[in-house]
Every structure is written in C-alpha cells, then in structure tokens.
Structure 1
Amino acid sequence: MKKIYYLKTCDTCKRIMRSLSLDGFTIREIKTKPITVSELEEMFQLSGSYESLFSRRAKKYAAMGLKDQKLEEVDYKQLILSDYTFLKRPVIISDTTIFIGSDKKNMQLLKEYFKTN
C-alpha cells in the first residue's frame, strides 16, 4: 500500500510531492474527500498515536482554545476526523512505513527512504 494524504492548497505539500517519485502511490486530497475512520486507524497503527498525526499549526487549534486544554488520544482522533486541517500533512505511507508532516527531520528520513526504495 502506497498512499499520500495532502492538501492541494498547501505549497509545502506540493513542493514535497514534486521532489519525490510517486509512481504507484494513491494520492488523496483531504479537503475534497475527507479521511475516513478506517484510514485514520490505519495511520494510527503505523504511527503509534493520534497525537503524532495532529497538527497544532491549524488555525482552529488556537481559535478553539485547544492549546489550553489537556487532550487525550481520543480527543486527537475526534478532532482529526471533524476537520481536515487538524491532520498534520502530508502523510506519506509506503508499505509499513509512515512519514508525517514536513519538519526537517522527517523530510531527511523521507528522502533517504526514497533513495533506497
């Protein structure tokens, strides 16, 4: 299974996707077709937590006062399912390996992975 979950209006997602060879990947835009419970659970199985999939950069995070709350895994799951902006992106799944977000460390691991696979 090879999948990419991204937002088409996100320049960072587009830049990352242009830099990779995406042959054989299913590319999924999350605003027009929101992720399902089973897709999120698949990401959870690979990542180990919903929190790792959650974006604190989402504008709604501050607007909803979430930064002042203690969130649990079930809260992260519900928030991600309730609004596409709460999913850290892009999420790239290649077989049993998952890459979440665009931070520098993750991008380095992603580039190394694509060089060897």
Structure 2
Amino acid sequence: MKRIYYLKTCSTNQRILKELNTTDFELVNIKEQNIDADTLDWLAKKEGSYEALFSKKATKYKEQGLKDKNLSEQDYRQLMLEEYTFLKRPFIINEEAVFIGNAKEVVEKAKQSLNN
C-alpha cells in the first residue's frame, strides 16, 4: 500500500507533500474521508499503540477535557474513528514503512524511504 492520509487545509501538510515524491501514492484528505478501522488497526499494530497515532495537540482534546482523563487504547481508537482532528498527521504509508506526524526527523525518514 502506498497511501498518505493528510489534511488538505493544513499548511504544514501541504508543505510536507511538496517535499515528498508522491507520484505513486494515493492521497487521502482525512476531512473528506476519515481513516477506516482496518487501516487504523494496522497502523496501531505497526506503531505499537493507538496513542502513538493520536494528536494531543487537537483543539478538541482540550475542549472535551480529554487531557484530564486517563484514556485507554480503545478510547484513542474510538476518538480517531469518530473525529479526524484527533489523527496525528500526515500518516505516510510506503508499503510496510510507516511515518506518522510532521516532526522534522519523521519527514526526513519519509523522504529517504520515498526516494529509494
């Protein structure tokens, strides 16, 4: 699978996409088509947890008082399936290699993977 889940309206995601060679990739705007349960489960297995895929920077995380709760892995899963803003982004899937988020080192590793 060669797929990138991103937010079209996010300038950081747009900048990252411009830096990557996405020619053979399916681009999925998560605002229009949220991630499906099977893909989210697969990513969580690759990354080791649902929490690793969850964005604690999301405005709704604070608004809903989630930062003050002890969330379980199933809570993280359910929240991400219900609301795209809880997904760390972008999610870059290059066959078996997975790159989550927009941290500089993650983006650099993704570039290396996509350019090989």
Q: Specify the TM-score bucket, using the shorter chain as the normaliser.
A: over 0.9
1:29 paired residue number: 29
Unaligned runs of 5+ in 2: none
**SS of the counterpart of 2:17?**
helix
Q: Deviations over 1:62-93 (max 9, x none)?
A: 00111111111111101101100000000000
2:3 paired residue number: 3
AA in 1 matched with 2:54: F
Quote the Cα distance in structure 2 between the aligned partners of 1:25 and 1:111.
13
TM-score, L = length of structure 1: 0.93
Quote the Cα distance in structure 2 between the aligned partners of 1:7 and 1:74.
24
1:49 paired residue number: 49
Of the structure 1 ranges 94-103 and 106-115, higher mean CA displacement relative to structure 2 is found in: 106-115
Quote the Cα distance in structure 2 between the aligned partners of 1:19 and 1:38.
28
Work out whether residues 94 and 113 of structure 2, in 8 Å CA contact, stay in contact via their aligned partners in 1. no
Work out whether residues 94 and 114 of structure 2, in 8 Å CA contact, stay in contact via their aligned partners in 1. no
1:65 aligns with 2:68: no
Unaligned runs of 5+ in 1: none
AA in 2 matched with 1:103: A
**SS of the counterpart of 2:5?**
strand
Q: Percent identity?
A: 47
Aligned residues: 116
1:93 paired residue number: 93
Quote the Cα distance in structure 2 between the aligned partners of 1:38 and 1:114.
23
